[in-house]
């Protein structure tokens, strides 16, 4: 077992109550989100409801942990990012349907599992970080990323990373295998360097002139601009373009929530899940995490609003999830990361 997982699981024994325990005033959350990002949410929930939130954060392995714990798992809620990890949890058989009229009313159908096993609670878009001084256009399509005019001018992290896998799976769901393979080959031919690093490093390389376009998530740019003085120059040297599919909108991904199969505090878990799509929680997501609220009518953070109006592609997220494996196979087929 990798060292970080051993540490996380050891911490779990300290943070969460004894296996299988129940209490009227608690709920147990496993999360892939950094604690500092979600703690303000849980603190606010506890203040409003009196229900304590026991939380453990890890970077991987939570689905396997819950599966291994089986019926004695203390986990009530799994809070995660990206449709890939959401789908992994469902495929692992560790979830149950969230039966909630509140969720059904607030979360649009395309951002919910058709069988009720997950719901989106916030959105992020996969966008372009464009060099301010070298890219004059203010709009772009995903299809255009394969145009030879961008040869040697695009930077991106690994094609197998979950964020890119979701984008490529969305392309595959729209256009089929043949056209997606052609597009991936065209995009690969336009890369300035071997895919590497993360979205922040992509912005760094655009700012340094290594490439003119970088592909990244919306919230990373806002974090660099507002919360990381060392990286702020990378954001200042770039502008965010909201790409769209031809005849469609901008590809979005989700932060999502799942109810575990054997949740010992099920009523409190459902209450937390419903609270996460309420006005106060959605505003915290918008202002602290720089994400797009899933709840209609909640104001955007000013930085995110500054990108322009997001017209999200209407494709159901579940259809994207269904193409994840095929997209991964195509990435290897075209040697995208080589």
Q: Are the C-beta atoms of residues 201 and 171 closer than 8 Å to each other? A: no
21 vs 120: which has the higher pLDDT: 120
Residue 299 CB burial class (10 angstroms; 0-12, 13-18, ≥19): exposed
For the annotated binding site for Fe cation, the residues are 219-220
For the annotated binding site, the residues are 219-220
pLDDT band at 35 (very low <50, low <70, confident <90, very high): confident
């709840």: which residue's tokens? 295
pLDDT band at 23 (very low <50, low <70, confident <90, very high): low
% the chain with pLDDT above 90: 90
User: Which domains are present in the chain?
Assistant: 3-123+252-305 (3.40.190.10), 125-251+312-333 (3.40.190.10)
DSSP calls for 107-156: S-GGGB-TTSS-EEEEEEEEEEEEETTT---S--BSGGGGSGGGTT-EE-
- CA 316 to CA 107: how far, in whole Å? 12
Indicate whether 275 pLDDT > 50: yes
* pTM recorded for the entire structure: 0.91
pLDDT in tens, 113-160: 999 999 999 999 999 999 999 999 999 999 999 999 999 999 999 999
- Report the pLDDT value the prediction gives residue 19, as an integer from 0 to 100: 39
Indicate whether 12 pLDDT > 60: no
Tokens linked to 131: 């060099």
Q: Mapping DSSP to helix (H, G, I), strand (E, B) and coil, where does residue 254 land? A: strand
pLDDT in tens, 280-298: 999 999 999 999 999 999 9
In eight-state DSSP terms, residue 16 is S
């Amino acid at each position: 077992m990798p060292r970080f997982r051993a540490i996380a699981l050891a911490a779990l024994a300290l943070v969460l109550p004894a296996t299988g325990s129940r209490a009227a005033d608690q709920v147990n959350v496993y999360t892939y989100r950094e604690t500092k990002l979600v703690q303000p949410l849980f603190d606010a929930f506890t203040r409003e409801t009196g229900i304590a939130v026991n939380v453990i954060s890890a970077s991987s392995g939570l689905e396997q942990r819950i599966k291994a714990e089986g019926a004695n798992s203390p986990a009530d809620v799994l809070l995660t990012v990206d449709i890939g990890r959401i789908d992994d949890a469902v495929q692992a058989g560790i979830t149950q349907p969230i039966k909630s009229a509140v969720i059904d009313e607030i979360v649009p159908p395309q951002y919910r599992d058709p069988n009720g096993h997950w719901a989106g609670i916030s959105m992020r878009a996969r966008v372009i970080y464009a060099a301010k001084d070298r890219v004059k256009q203010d709009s772009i399509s995903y299809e255009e990323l394969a145009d030879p005019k961008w040869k040697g001018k695009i930077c991106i992290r690994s094609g197998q990373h979950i964020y890119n896998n979701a984008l490529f799976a969305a392309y595959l769901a729209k256009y089929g295998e043949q056209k997606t393979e052609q597009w991936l080959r065209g995009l690969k031919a336009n890369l300035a360097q071997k895919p590497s690093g993360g979205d922040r490093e992509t912005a760094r390389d655009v700012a340094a002139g290594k490439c003119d376009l970088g592909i990244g998530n919306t919230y990373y740019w806002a974090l660099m601009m507002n919360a990381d003085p060392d990286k702020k120059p990378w954001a200042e040297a770039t502008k965010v373009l909201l790409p769209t599919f031809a005849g469609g909108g901008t590809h979005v991904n989700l932060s999502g929530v799942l109810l575990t199969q054997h949740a010992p505090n099920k009523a409190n878990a459902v209450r937390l899940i419903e609270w996460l799509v309420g006005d106060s929680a959605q505003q915290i997501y918008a202002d602290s995490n720089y994400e797009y609220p899933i709840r209609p009518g909640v104001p955007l953070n000013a930085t995110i609003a500054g990108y322009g109006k997001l017209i999200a592609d209407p494709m159901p997220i579940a259809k994207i999830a269904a193409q994840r494996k095929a997209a991964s196979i195509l990435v290897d087929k075209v040697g995208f990361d080589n």
